[in-house]
Amino acid sequence: MTDSRADIVAFADRLALAVERKRSQLVVGLDPRIDLLPMELRGEAVLGRASAADAISRFCKGIVDAVAPYAVAVKPQVAFFEALGSDGWRAFEEVCAYAREVGLLVIADAKRGDIGSTARAYSAAFLEPDGTAPPLADAVTLNPYLGHDSVEPFLLACRRYGAGVFFLVRTSNAGARDIQDATLSDGTALWQHVASLVHEWGEDLVGERGLSSVGAVVGATYPRAIGEARRAMPQAVLLLPGVGAQGATPADVARAFTSGPSSAVVTASRSVIYAFRDAADDWRAAAGREAARLAAEIWAAAGW
């Protein structure tokens, strides 16, 4: 790292410590849809944008409290906050700060991607300290399809501030095959070429635990791709969405952990935060119970 401060710890090392301490690889996605909030909060949300932002902030903080014993990180989806304008961004900042206060890592699910000064500004917004205040998030999801100059500001934040990044490589949505599975002239799929670039970008950002702070998003809905991605990016932390509401199971992700118990994390969003919709008890209790169940199943499937 170019930053000489002794207190900077690489994101991959912080993540590994959390995984080992909690014996969990669960990341809970925070996707606060107003129409799905508990009734006690949904009523407040109809009073205006500021009230809606307060409601989703309260909801996400309640989920954070419920899942904190079982998850290593939360992944707030920026779009649901941005939809509420400046009030929503305030709520996003509140939720990120609260999650970090209770000891969870924060992965901002922003999927940003741009070039030059714009990429630099995105990096500053999510990953760089603001004066004496810590960065908004520990890591951010990124779109790598604009190439190296678009990712360099984020790699620099990894070096200077101990940040982490997760590049979209093979995503969990059905439409991913339209572009990501396209075959190149050498016979490889486009996503496999992107995987080789992600490996290259992360080689000099490997921490003390042997894992890079440059990770990759690979959909858990494609188990075969997980194994191929693991071989292509042996030092990358794989962020695996798709367990739960999208249909993947903990057993589907087992091959992602061959580089160690911290070499992959599994995200679950709707199945955890809206678990109360299929339960009779409090929404916080339902989320905590589902998080505990998933964390145990993922740990067992990982084989560590």
Residues recognised as catalytic: 111
Check if the beta carbon of residue 68 is closer than 8 Å to that of residue 36: no
Those residues whose C-beta lies under 8 Å from the C-beta of residue 136, and which sit 6 or more positions away, are: 93, 96, 106, 108, 125, 126, 127, 130
Smallest CA-to-CA distance from 176 within 110, 246, 109 is with 246
Residues in the chain: 304
Cβ atoms 272, 290 nearer than 8 A: yes
